[in-house]
Amino acid sequence: MGKKTQSYSDVCVPVYVINLPEHKDRITHIRGQFEGREEFDVEFIEAHRHEIGVINLWESIKKVIRTAMERNDDVIVICKDDHEFTPHYSRTSLFRQIIGAAEQGANIMLGGINHFGQAIPVAEGRFWIDQFQSTQFIVAYRIFFQRILDEPFTEGEVADVKFSEMTSHKMIIHPFISAQKDFGYSDLPVQGLKMTKHKDLFCRSEERLTKILAIADRYGTGNIQ
């Protein structure tokens, strides 16, 4: 008999969407992404406003974390308004990965990234990664909340690099369930950073992970349950 699949039909996870209210196009987009998905309890968090974009994002993330701690959330999704679900998304897969990553001691787990350094398959549909770029869909666990609030952050830093440095306990879902929609501008601009074709970068990263998994399978190290 096949292994019984848990549907998680009675499970709901808090989602905190970081957004600037004046960007109506992004609000319309992100509402559409979560419409009809009852597994998410979505709340909009107005982005912090600072002349330096990187500080905007980090302070917005801390604002999310403070809210989550006040509400005693155990696990949350930190979501930017340019997040876009891929065809690989499913409720069952997401909650299986959330639970599995927690059991393996993850502090954060990403839904999709546009760059990474090293990666090792640690479970079906999940990799450990050493560093990453992209913060549009982050699963964060309560064990990591206070660390985020306490972490110093300076003008020359960026959130994804900061997360990569803060913890080695980070994972990525594969195939990606989240990509980044390119609006042609950034709602939380980073000084000196030019817009790139997000789709190409995400595809390239996902292909790299697929190749790593194929090599692990070929040499007998990828039989992960």
Residues of the chain where predicted confidence (pLDDT) is lower than 70: 1-5, 52-53, 184-197, 221-225
* Alpha carbon distance, N-terminus to C-terminus of the chain: 16
Burial letters for 156-183: b for 16+ Cβ neighbours within 10 Å, e otherwise? eebbbebbbebeebbbbbbebbbbbbee
pLDDT score for 80: 95
Strand, coil or helix: 21: coil
What does the pLDDT read at residue 219? 86
For the domain covering 13-218, report its CATH number: 3.90.550.40
- The runs of H, that is alpha helices, within the chain are 24-34, 53-70, 91-103, 145-150, 159-166, 198-218
Ordered by start, the domain boundaries in the chain are 13-218
* pLDDT of res. 191: 42
**Contact between residue 15 and residue 105 where contact means Cβ atoms under 8 Å apart:** no
Tell me the C-alpha distance between 125 and 70, whole Å: 32
* pLDDT tens by residue, 164-220: 999 999 999 999 999 999 886 555 444 444 445 677 889 999 999 999 999 998 887
Average pLDDT, the chain: 89
pTM of the model: 0.90
- Give yes or no for a contact between 16 and 43, defined as CB atoms under 8 angstroms apart: yes
Which tokens in the block code for residue 75? 């696990």
